[in-house]
Structure 1
């Protein structure tokens, strides 16, 4: 299907940034529009409570290690005495139990200390990739819950075009379909792109489907938020787009397939297919079938390879593959 649609530029990966622990926002080091590098500090929570927890955990670990040293020394002495029959078996078992408890206590205190170290590090929000800050949702002095968004963030690198396609036209778009992207802000540029993803359901308010196109070779001129004109190219797919009822789709493990009726002997074979879009009552296939193929519409989990069937027309014309 060929067609032109308006769109806008987005990063391939866009996500909110948030602290993994709660606390009061003490400092903010960047603002929207800032380009940041991986590992760069972006904001800081008040670290006072985390530092106290870390100090307590460190002290608990030191005490546990001291108890383990004492229990280990006692274990070595009692082991020698038990071998010489100088202490009873009950006393030796108590010593072994004390040593095991001290060892477990040290390991537990070590885990708590490492957890406290992590909690202390989490009071600094750090960029995990190179990218750009796209928005700000928190102010200095604000008390934040763990996971509450502080910044919007877009990775550097891959760029995509988002297009809202009317439901009357989305059926003719398939993943992998080629497109050409032009931008009013860059009249001398044209970018090759292809359809990467088609939303499985329409937006509840606009009743349009979000289609995402990956730009094949983006450059620094392609800025986030720019408006774009997308021209989808026709005739890219080796197999025409086919619509089938949802009841006809069979899953071979994690891979979708359909039961195809061999026109020569009316026996069934399992044909892998590529799904372009899932609907409430139908499925759009981008590859695997062509118009005119005969498939099993219902009862796909009750038949098997090589089974001979009799073709019966669907009771409703709209259920036929299109």
Structure 2
């Protein structure tokens, strides 16, 4: 009888164990870094990477096509107005000029002959030997010869200009900032050969995102808001906004802004020099600043985790962002001074989760050592 009962008892124990509910593991108490919210003011200075450029930069090319046989300048060359920059093979252009000159000589000879004939026929008509209709035909031939002569003169002038266009000269003094063609290349009319930055005013060019364009436009009307700091050192240079792009750059999706630094600073800057545009932002009071690590995006809202000191739990709190000040987010609403906000580990927290304040082991060890030393000193006394 006993051997039969033992298997039944074992089966019943297994069934009871299977039906019993397993208790879930307690949620871990997470250690978090926190910061206490305090009333603050936002403003300061925003910095944008910039570059010094010439107010006017031309892409110079030949007005006729041909083979480039010589280039007398390189990138960085300083040139004067009228200086020769490059040369095309002029052989075909000179042949065209010679042909135009020959056509001009032929047209001149034809005009002279037609004019002499007209004068003779006019004398004959005055004497009554020919009719007026015949004289009118000679007059028409003279006018046609005159038109052909004018056409030949114009064509000769064009061919003379074409031959002169084989030499590329600088139309202004400045610095060669780029070279787009090498000797031996066949270039078309108007194709860029060199880029020339004209001497004169300099611009500091920088880009801002589209949400800052309106602010820059507003600040541009206030003097003293923009300054340029050259990476080479020196005191900041005052600048004024001269031009704001009407459309975003198709690649970076930012708006290009050009600032004028005035003639007084021309001796301090060099073309292509790297600079930083300093934009003094207006002061805003009654805001709070939090590290960027304290923010979390949730269902299209920006939230932070607020600590309930009584229960040592956290809850999400929506906030309103007013921008950034350096590496800190400016909060314009949703928080009150004195609240404690989690600044690290925000993506692993849940509403109502138990937390504890993080204590730096190094700081705790230093505090313990200081306490031990203090206690030892008291004991010795």
How high is the TM-score relative to the length of structure 2?
A: 0.59
1:68-102 Cα shifts (integer Å, max 9, x gaps):
11112222222232222221122101110110011
Contact 1:177 1:195 in 2 (8 A): no
CA contact (8 A) 1:19 1:123 kept: yes
Aligned positions, number: 234
The answer on 1:5 being equivalent to 2:37 is: no
Runs of 5+ in structure 2 lacking a partner? 1-42, 283-381
Shift of 1:176: 5.5
Q: Which residue of 156, 160, 172 corresponds with 2:215?
A: 172
> Is the 1:50–1:119 contact (alpha carbons within 8 Å) kept by the matching residues of 2?
yes
Corresponding residue of 1:99: 142
Q: Deviation of residue 177 (structure 1)?
A: 5.5
| 1:67 positional shift | 1.1
- The residue number in structure 2 matching 1:191 is 237
RMSD: 1.8
Aligned to 1:278: none
Residues 230, 78 of structure 1: CA spacing in aligned structure 2 closer, same or farther, 3 A cutoff? same
Structure 1 stretches of 4+ with a deviation exceeding 4 A read 175-178
The DSSP-based 3-state class of the residue aligned with 1:200 is: coil
CA deviation map 1:35-82 (0-9, x unaligned) = 111111100000000000000000110111111111122222222322
The answer (yes or no) to whether the contact 2:201–2:266 under 8 Å persists in 1 is no
Pair 1:221 & 2:268 matched:
yes
How is 1:272-287 mapped onto 2 (pairs within 5 angstroms)? none
Tell me the residue number matched to 2:191: 148
Over 3 Å counting, the alpha-carbon distance change for 1:212 and 1:188 in structure 2 is same
Structure 1 gaps, min length 5 = 236-322
1:177 and 1:232 in contact (8 A); partners too: no
Deviates more, 1:105-114 or 1:65-74: 65-74
2:228 is aligned to 181
The higher-RCO structure (CA 8 Å, 6+ apart) is 2
| TM-score scaled by length of structure 1 | 0.69
What secondary structure is seen at the aligned counterpart in 2 of 1:211?
strand
Equivalence for 2:92:
49
In structure 2, the residue matched to 1:131 is: 174
In the alignment, what sits opposite 1:204?
A: 250
Deviations 1:161-209 (A, max 9, x none): 1111011111112256542212021x22432221111111112232211
Q: Distance in 1 between the 2:60 and 2:84 partners?
A: 12
Flag the 1:146–1:87 CA change in 2: closer, same or farther, 3 A. same
Partner of 2:128: 85
Q: How does 1:254-265 map to 2 (within 5 A)?
A: none
